[in-house]
Structure formats: structure tokens, C-alpha cells
Amino acid sequence: MTEWGTGAKPTLLVFSDDWGRHPSSCQHLIGRLLPEYQVWWVNTIGMRCPRFDRATLDRGLEKIRQWFRPNPDTVHRPTNPGILNPWMWPWFSKPHDRRMNRELLTWQIMPVIRSSQAPVVAVTTVPLVADLTDHLPVARWVYYCVDDFSQWPGLDQEVIGRMEQKLVRRANVLFSVSHKLQDRLAGWGRASHLLTHGVDLEYWTRGGPRVRLPQLERLKRPLVLFWGIIDRRMDVQFVHQLAGDMNRGTVVLLGPEADPDPLLYRPARVVRLPEVPFDQLPHMAREAAVLVMPYADLPVTRAIQPLKLKEYLATGKPVVVRDLPATRPWADALDLVHSPEEFSEIVRRRAAEGVPETQVEARGRLRAESWAEKARRFKQLALVSGLSQPDKEGANDGD
């Protein structure tokens, strides 16, 4: 079956986080489609309202540098993906803010749509572009729902929620990365395909010589490692209980900060390190004794599908995580915990004993969870089969 019945492969116009800045699920997914499709990737602004702090200043300067960077004539000589850095207004709470962004984005993106020789399919992971659904002349809209943004700390949750509802009503095809998110979209009257995150097994299991990691050299072993955004989703009691019970070693929290609880770093054994390039993470994991996700049990964490979960499992290291909807399907391949005391006890046991053989065997299911397979499914449901009806149970999606 060919796309659209004409043999013409559509052009993909993707609205998401900055290409190459963080290895998001959307980048993994769309990256597998680059050999087949021309992709235009639109680097959007974040959804946090600007504040007078260092993080906002740094991010603002980063976006300004993007906007003023000399731009080659990508419309007539496209790369793949073609990267677009449109000017955007950083506020969206008021109607006039959203109207300004709609006009700015429409004006800057229309040349790309007009230049395409094939139908254009718009794909978005962010609700910020909801106002574009009635203005861009694309063949269809695909919403790839990766989080419950209305519950994220630090966001204007009411406004984001309204924009997401509009996007859900307008989108032609919807994907959710978890059953919780499927249920949420169903509450607005829309069914969505289940498409959980994938993993690149070869990337996380590669061997080779050890790489020098200066930031770890002075830390006392064993290392208990978390990587990802460090924010209010972290359970301070879990981290403090573990740090207090350890008689040796270090709890390492690796990644960018987004207004975490100031008490998080109080114990001497807790060390925060800035984020590292993605290609260093397998080497960081190799140095760790245990990989952890000490998330709090909150509405936002009950909806997440952590990209790092399958990456953790692929490393072959012990994995200890909070019992949440996204982690339960892999309960036989890792350790689920419910309390700070249980978290501390099991992390310390795994650091001493390693991964049980039963968990090693259970992780064999990861072979069916490749990003290539996820991209094949996305292509079939969003780009080939047309406006297909979502499978309510997410059949053949691996989880």
C-alpha cells in the first residue's frame, strides 16, 4: 500500500523540542524515518513561562542565538532533517499572546509548505501549536502525546490543558505513549494508538575501552545513578533515606535542573552533576552499581512513560524504580519499590549482589522494543493506512 494512494511520500513537518539538544522519543522515532521522508523539524520554545532566573536567561540566550544564526536557503536546498528556528513569542497565557505566535509561525512556515512537492503531514508533541491547526494547509495533523503537560510542575497548567484539548479535537491521528495518557485523551472523546517508547539495544550494550569521565573520578564508589531532568517530581524522602543508610558510595543525580526542591541535595552523599552528551550516557551507566528512578507518586508521574526506563534495562545494570503505571509492566525485569525504606534497602542489596538471573532473562523482551519497530508502526498508522481506528489495547506494541 502506498501513501495517499498516489505513490507520493508525504513531507513531515515536526513541532517538538530542539533537534539534537536532548535525545527525546520524538527524535528517536522520526530519526528512523529520515531515509524515507523529507522532514522539516521546527525547534519550538519551551512551555514554561519566562521567569527572572538563571535557567530562563540561559535558555533565552540560546534561542536568540538560534534566531540570529545565518540560515542557508534550506527551502530550495533542503537537508534532512531541515531545521527551522522560527521566532516565537515566549508567552501564551493570553489570547493576544497566542495570536501573535500563530501569526509568527504561519508566516515563517508557509514557505516550506508551499515548496513541498508532496502532501505535508504535521506531527507535534507540544500543545503550543494548537492554534495552527486551522491555519496551516497540511494534509493532516498527528498528535504524539508523550506527557500529561497539564500536571507538569512549573507550567501554566490551565492554559496548557485548554490548548491540548483543542489540539486533540483537531488532530486526525493520535498516539499516546502510555495507557494513562490513552485514558486521558479518551476522556475528551478521542481514541489514540498506544506507542510506547523504544530502545536501541546495540547502543546501550556496546563494549569497547573505558572512557575517562573526570566528573566521576573523585566520587566514592559504589555509584547510584539517576539521569534526566531534576525537578519537583523527585521524591526527596527516597533520596535522603538512601543517602543516610549508605555507609559508603555516592548518589549521583545527573542532568539539567528545573526548579528542584532545594532540600534534595542536603545529604553529603548526594551529588548533582550537569548533563552530559548523549553518547556519554552508556559510559556513565557502565561506572554505576545501580540505576534508579526515585520519582514521587504524583499525577504527573503516574502519566509519564520514562524514556530512560528501557535504556536503564538495556545496560544490564540493576534497576530500582518507584512503583508507577509505566514501570509495572517491567516488574519482572527490575525492582519496584513503594517506600523510602524499601528503596534504600533494595538499592543497597543490588549494589552488593548485582542483577538476579530471573531479571536478566525477563529483559530479553527488549529485543521486540526497538525504535525501528516503533517507527514502522508509526509509519503504518499515521502515514500509510490513513485515518485508521486506534486499537484500544495497543495490540502488537510490545507492552
**Residue 194: exposed, middle, or buried by beta-carbon count in 10 A (0-12, 13-18, 19+)?**
buried
Q: So what's the pLDDT on residue 79?
A: 82
- DSSP H helical ranges for 116-175: 157-170
Residue 258 CB: number of other CB atoms within 10 A? Answer: 16
Spell out, as residue ranges, where the chain has pLDDT lower than 70.
1-8, 45-78, 91, 153-155, 386-399
Cell numbers 530512560 correspond to what residue?
308
Sheet strands side by side (includes 173-176): 82-84, 39-43, 11-16, 120-124, 140-145, 173-176, 193-194
- Separation CA 399–CA 395 (nearest Å): 9
Phi-psi map region of 133: left, alpha, beta (phi>0 left; psi -120 to 50 alpha): alpha
Q: So what's the pLDDT on residue 49?
A: 58
> What totals of helices (H) and strands (E) does the chain contain, helices first?
13, 15
Max CA pair span of the chain: 67
Q: So what's the pLDDT on residue 98?
A: 83
Write out pLDDT tens, residues 71-111. Answer: 555 555 568 899 998 887 776 777 888 888 889 899 999 99
In angstroms, the Cα distances linking 231 to 235, 255, 295, 368 are 10, 10, 10, 32
Per this entry, what is the length of the chain? 399
- Separation CA 174–CA 148 (nearest Å): 14
Write out pLDDT tens, residues 320-372. Answer: 999 999 999 999 999 999 999 999 999 999 999 999 999 999 999 999 999 99
Closest to 337 (Cα-Cα) out of 298, 304, 293: 293
Q: So what's the pLDDT on residue 8?
A: 65
C-alpha cell at 315: 545496560
Domains in the chain (CATH in brackets) are 3-198+370-384 (3.40.50.11010), 201-364 (3.40.50.2000)
**Residue 208: exposed, middle, or buried by beta-carbon count in 10 A (0-12, 13-18, 19+)?**
exposed
Q: Are 273 and 253 in contact (CB under 8 A)?
A: yes
User: Per-residue b/e over 382-397, b at no fewer than 16 CB within 10 Å?
Assistant: bbbeeeeebeeebeeb
Beta strands in the chain (DSSP E): 11-16, 39-43, 82-84, 120-124, 140-145, 173-176, 193-194, 223-227, 230-231, 250-254, 257-258, 270-273, 290-293, 319-322, 335-337
Question: Which residues share a beta bridge with 42?
Answer: 15, 84
Q: Are 139 and 119 in contact (CB under 8 A)?
A: yes
Q: So what's the pLDDT on residue 226?
A: 98
